[in-house]
């Protein structure tokens, strides 16, 4: 089902920059297939959330909120590849959190011998992203798709955050770094982050390509992020040494 034209009423410039959900790899994400492929690369089973646990986390997050439209705050790949149907998108900003490459990755974009890092939302100096509105009658279907992707394994916690938009303040569900999860390592110096990202490669490609993709899409969306700029510069220097 194509996204409705009215979804881009506030920001028509975003329409060519956001993928059709029906074409997204994440729309029909096969978690068991990914687990099998990870196992073939030597990763032990048990790294992901069982389906029942993931559903319990989703239901807990939505408790008391199913009777109204739901906003989702996207700060990473969800911005350009949301894989969910929505009826409105707004540029949005939170002062509470910032992007951080603090998610330890020894499978998707790294290995146990050479781990990489992926992005999360953690306490920081602010983050600009996109907010998507899901109508109430589509919440069950769309949040199941969303959580199958974002809660595939420990690392994120469902959190509601206040966002500032040009059209007014909204409260949105997002996925914040879970400091109780072993894969969240928030105190890695940025120089070490750069070293890890420069050299790691996993099932879905290199950590460098992942970071480069984030940077490219932020540029296309006209979103500035000083931390990402600094990290990219350090990664380029690290790769130049090889």
Task: Convert the pLDDT of each residue in 29-64 to its tens digit.
Answer: 999 998 888 888 877 888 899 999 999 999 999 999
Among candidate residues 35, 142, 150, 238, the one labeled active-site is 150
Residues 87-133 have pLDDT tens digits of: 999 999 999 999 999 999 998 899 999 999 999 999 998 999 999 99
Is 62:1 a contact under the CB 8 Å cutoff? no
Evaluated on CA atoms 143, 148, 154, 155, the torsion sign reads negative
pLDDT band at 182; cut points 50, 70, 90? very high
The pLDDT value recorded for residue 241 is 84
- Known active-site residue 150: yes
Q: What are phi and psi of 164, to 5 degrees?
A: -95, 130
- Tell the residue number behind the tokens 């949040």, with chain if given: 143
């Amino acid at each position: 089902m194509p996204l409705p034209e009215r979804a881009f009423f506030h920001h028509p410039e975003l329409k060519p920059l956001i993928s059709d959900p029906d074409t997204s790899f994440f729309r029909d994400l096969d978690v068991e297939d990914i687990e099998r492929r990870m196992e073939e690369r030597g990763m032990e089973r048990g790294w992901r959330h069982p389906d029942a646990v993931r559903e319990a986390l989703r239901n807990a997050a939505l408790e008391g909120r199913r009777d109204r439209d739901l906003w989702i705050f996207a700060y990473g790949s969800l911005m350009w590849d949301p894989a969910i149907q929505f009826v409105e998108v707004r540029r949005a900003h939170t002062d509470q959190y910032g992007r951080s490459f603090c998610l330890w990755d020894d499978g998707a974009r790294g290995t146990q011998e050479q781990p990489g890092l992926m992005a999360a939302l953690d306490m920081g100096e602010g983050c600009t992203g996109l907010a998507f509105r899901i109508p109430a009658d589509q919440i069950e279907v769309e949040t199941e798709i969303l959580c199958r992707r974002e809660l595939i394994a420990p690392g994120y916690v469902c959190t509601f955050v206040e966002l500032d938009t040009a059209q007014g303040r909204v409260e949105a569900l997002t996925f914040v770094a879970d400091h109780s999860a072993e894969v969240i390592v928030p105190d890695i110096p940025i120089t070490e982050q750069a070293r890890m990202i420069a050299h790691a490669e996993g099932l879905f490609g290199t950590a460098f390509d992942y970071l480069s993709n984030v940077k490219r899409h932020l540029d296309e969306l006209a979103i500035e992020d000083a931390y990402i700029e600094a990290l990219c510069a350090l990664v380029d220097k690290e790769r130049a040494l090889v």
